Protein backbone atom coordinates (compact mmCIF):
# COMPACT_ATOMS: atom_id res chain seq x y z
CA UNK A 1 0.00 0.00 0.00
CA UNK A 2 2.95 2.32 0.46
CA UNK A 3 2.93 3.08 -3.26
CA UNK A 4 -0.75 3.99 -3.10
CA UNK A 5 -0.87 6.08 0.07
CA UNK A 6 0.47 9.55 0.67
CA UNK A 7 2.79 9.44 3.70
CA UNK A 8 0.81 12.17 5.43
CA UNK A 9 -2.30 10.00 5.45
CA UNK A 10 -0.45 7.44 7.59
CA UNK A 11 0.22 10.02 10.30
CA UNK A 12 -0.47 8.39 13.66
CA UNK A 13 -1.00 4.94 12.19
CA UNK A 14 1.14 1.83 12.73
CA UNK A 15 3.32 1.30 9.69
CA UNK A 16 4.74 -2.17 9.02
CA UNK A 17 7.44 -2.70 6.43
CA UNK A 18 9.14 -5.74 4.98
CA UNK A 19 12.30 -4.80 6.87
CA UNK A 20 10.48 -5.33 10.17
CA UNK A 21 8.85 -8.60 9.21
CA UNK A 22 11.63 -11.15 9.27
CA UNK A 23 15.37 -11.53 8.88
CA UNK A 24 17.63 -13.60 6.65
CA UNK A 25 18.27 -15.92 9.59
CA UNK A 26 14.64 -16.00 10.72
CA UNK A 27 12.27 -15.16 7.86
CA UNK A 28 8.54 -14.75 8.40
CA UNK A 29 6.51 -17.81 7.25
CA UNK A 30 5.08 -15.79 4.36
CA UNK A 31 8.60 -14.83 3.26
CA UNK A 32 9.60 -18.50 3.47
CA UNK A 33 6.59 -19.48 1.38
CA UNK A 34 7.41 -16.89 -1.30
CA UNK A 35 10.97 -18.27 -1.49
CA UNK A 36 9.77 -21.88 -1.58
CA UNK A 37 7.34 -21.15 -4.43
CA UNK A 38 9.80 -18.97 -6.40
CA UNK A 39 7.33 -16.12 -6.16
CA UNK A 40 9.90 -13.48 -7.02
CA UNK A 41 8.89 -10.01 -8.12
CA UNK A 42 10.71 -6.70 -8.36
CA UNK A 43 11.66 -4.65 -5.32
CA UNK A 44 8.38 -2.76 -5.49
CA UNK A 45 6.00 -5.65 -5.98
CA UNK A 46 7.51 -8.25 -3.67
CA UNK A 47 7.25 -6.23 -0.44
CA UNK A 48 3.71 -5.20 -1.32
CA UNK A 49 2.65 -8.75 -2.09
CA UNK A 50 4.22 -10.18 1.05
CA UNK A 51 2.73 -7.53 3.33
CA UNK A 52 -0.65 -7.88 1.61
CA UNK A 53 -0.45 -11.63 2.19
CA UNK A 54 0.45 -11.18 5.86
CA UNK A 55 -2.49 -8.82 6.33
CA UNK A 56 -4.84 -11.22 4.55
CA UNK A 57 -3.73 -14.22 6.61
CA UNK A 58 -4.16 -12.29 9.86
CA UNK A 59 -7.85 -11.80 9.11
CA UNK A 60 -8.47 -14.84 6.92
CA UNK A 61 -6.25 -17.78 7.90
CA UNK A 62 -7.60 -20.09 5.16
CA UNK A 63 -8.35 -17.86 2.19
CA UNK A 64 -9.74 -19.07 -1.11
CA UNK A 65 -7.75 -18.44 -4.28
CA UNK A 66 -10.21 -15.65 -5.13
CA UNK A 67 -9.58 -14.02 -1.76
CA UNK A 68 -5.82 -14.32 -2.26
CA UNK A 69 -6.03 -12.78 -5.74
CA UNK A 70 -8.23 -9.99 -4.40
CA UNK A 71 -5.76 -9.29 -1.57
CA UNK A 72 -2.85 -9.10 -4.03
CA UNK A 73 -4.72 -7.03 -6.58
CA UNK A 74 -3.50 -3.74 -5.11
CA UNK A 75 -0.04 -4.59 -6.40
CA UNK A 76 -0.09 -3.43 -9.98
CA UNK A 77 2.58 -5.66 -11.48
CA UNK A 78 2.67 -5.66 -15.25
CA UNK A 79 5.40 -8.29 -15.51
CA UNK A 80 3.96 -11.68 -14.65
CA UNK A 81 0.93 -13.58 -13.66
CA UNK A 82 0.34 -14.06 -9.99
CA UNK A 83 0.42 -17.87 -10.10
CA UNK A 84 3.48 -18.38 -7.91
CA UNK A 85 2.44 -15.61 -5.52
CA UNK A 86 -0.99 -17.19 -5.07
CA UNK A 87 0.67 -20.55 -4.53
CA UNK A 88 2.98 -18.97 -1.92
CA UNK A 89 0.09 -17.44 0.02
CA UNK A 90 -1.74 -20.77 -0.11
CA UNK A 91 1.42 -22.48 1.24
CA UNK A 92 1.77 -19.90 4.03
CA UNK A 93 -1.89 -20.37 4.94
CA UNK A 94 -1.22 -24.05 5.47
CA UNK A 95 1.28 -23.35 8.24
Q: For binding to ligand FES (CB under 6 A), which residues are involved?
A: 41-42, 44-45, 77-79
- Nearer to ligand FES (CB atom), residue 9 or residue 78: 78
| Closest CB 58 distance from ligand FES, rounded Å | 24
Query: At a CB cut-off of 8 Å and minimum separation 6, what does 66 contact?
Result: none
- Nearer to ligand FES (CB atom), residue 21 or residue 77: 77
- Nearer to ligand FES (CB atom), residue 56 or residue 82: 82
Amino acid sequence: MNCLLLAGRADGARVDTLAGLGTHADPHPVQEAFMAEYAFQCGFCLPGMILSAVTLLESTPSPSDAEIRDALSGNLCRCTGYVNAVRAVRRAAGR
